[in-house]
Amino acid sequence: MGDARLPCRLPRLRVGLLPHDRVPRAPRHRRVGSDARAAVARERPALRRRRDAIGRGRFVLLALRRRGLDRLVGDALPPQVTRRRLVRPAALAGAVAALVASSAALTRAQAAPVASARQQVTAVEAGRSLFVTGCSSCHGLDGGGTQRGPDLTHAGAASADFYLSTGRMPLADPGDQPVRARPAYSRGDIDRLVAYVASLGKGPPIPVLAQRGGLAEGNELYTQNCAACHSSAGAGGALGVSIDAPPLWRATDLQVAEALRTGPGAMPVFGPETLDDEQVASIVRYVSYLRKPDDRGGNPLGHIGPVPEGFVAWVIGLGCMLAVAYWIGTRD
């Protein structure tokens, strides 16, 4: 019989016969409608799936008429076919964590511009309060200028930061020349004032020193554009009556770049059409070198040039010669 050969090919196959007389029989006449469904429910026991092992809940129902095989055949297929892919807890947890992290990152990215805008508005409001208290008497309540001070509506952030960070503003007397001094405001208040002045109108922004310029190029550019006023050693010099070019030894890199872009006082403005960012970076590097130059010839005597060095040589040399001559003369 067919049912005797099946276990040889599929060892785990279990065959069930009809539960009544255990022998094959001819098929009954079909019943129609609800009578057929009720009869089937009464005559056949409920077929339930086996769940005795992971991934082995499949079954094959053989409906071979006239052979009496119409019952559940469990585990008739190999596990490689019936095994389902299980979602492991670790993989599920990793996927959930990645989803949460990406959602948090997206939320932070969307919230960052809003927070930055709010901080900017807060800084501008605080800067206006400081401006009204300490600057409006000369520059006006709206920064439009008065007879005592210039218009700041197009001064820009770079100019405001330079004057405030170097202590050149505010002035006790508007008629005095702004000179370097200790800043009157803290760094936080300077940032707030700069934010307010920048909000008044379009002006030069604070330079970004993102690259390191060339020292040789900086020397050449400094000699051509800066040495005539600030001297070759960066010591500064007099330009006229009550007008001096300040020394550069105390200036920071950012302040040098801001001075080039804004032209404070009698200094010309070196805009992007005159000096690009790389050339500005080169000048900044050379000025930084002038603060601590490589003095291989000995005492630099203040780095004020060859005239004082020659004068000292003549005074010391000639004085020594006169002293020796006098000593020789007294011996006779």
Residue 160: other Cβ atoms inside 10 A: 29
CATH code of residue 231: 1.10.760.10
Q: Is residue 283, in this structure, part of any structural domain at all?
A: yes
Q: Is residue 200, in this structure, part of any structural domain at all?
A: yes
Please report the pLDDT score of residue 159 as a whole number.
Answer: 96
* Calculated CA dihedral for residues 208, 214, 220, 221, nearest 10 degrees: -10
81's tokens: 């076919």
Q: Are 133 and 61 in the same domain?
A: no
Q: Is residue 114, in this structure, part of any structural domain at all?
A: yes
- Residue ending a domain, among 53, 82, 111, is 82
* pLDDT above 90 coverage of the chain, percent: 41
| DSSP-derived secondary structure letter, 74 | E
pTM, two decimals, is 0.59
Give the mean model confidence (pLDDT) for residues 151-162.
Answer: 95
Closest CA to 137 of 110, 91, 169, 106: 169
Q: Are 59 and 135 in the same domain?
A: no
Q: Which residues make Cβ contacts (< 8 Å) with residue 210, sequence separation at least 6?
A: none
Tens digit of each residue's pLDDT (9 = 90 or more) over 181-204 = 999 999 999 999 999 999 999 999
Q: Are 228 and 187 in the same domain?
A: no
- Residue ending a domain, among 158, 184, 206, is 206
Q: Are 109 and 51 in the same domain?
A: no
Please report the pLDDT score of residue 54 as a whole number.
Answer: 46
Owning domain of residue 269 = 213-294
- Residue ending a domain, among 21, 56, 82, is 82
325's tokens: 């001559």
Tens digit of each residue's pLDDT (9 = 90 or more) over 277-314 = 999 999 999 999 998 877 766 676 666 666 666 777 78
Q: Are 150 and 195 in the same domain?
A: yes
Please report the pLDDT score of residue 53 as a whole number.
Answer: 46
Q: Is residue 63, in this structure, part of any structural domain at all?
A: yes
**Number of domain units in the chain:** 3
The pLDDT-based confidence of 107 (bands split at 50, 70, 90) is: low
Q: Are 162 and 196 in the same domain?
A: yes
Q: Are 13 and 59 in the same domain?
A: yes
Which letter, b or e, does each residue of 218-241 get, where b requires 16 or more Cβ atoms within 10 Å of its Cβ?
bbebbeebbeebbbbbbbbeeeee
Least confident of 69-73, 93-97, 183-187, 266-270: 69-73
Whether residue 241 is predicted with pLDDT greater than 90 in this model: the reply is no
Whether residue 248 is predicted with pLDDT greater than 70 in this model: the reply is yes
Q: Are 199 and 107 in the same domain?
A: yes
Please report the pLDDT score of residue 2 as a whole number.
Answer: 47
Q: Compute the mean pLDDT over every residue in the chain, rounded to the nearest whole number.
A: 77
Q: Are 200 and 251 in the same domain?
A: no
Q: Are the beta carbons of 156 and 200 closer than 8 angstroms? A: no
Length of the chain: 332
The pLDDT-based confidence of 254 (bands split at 50, 70, 90) is: very high
Q: Are 194 and 217 in the same domain?
A: no
| CA 256 – CA 263 distance, rounded (Å) | 10
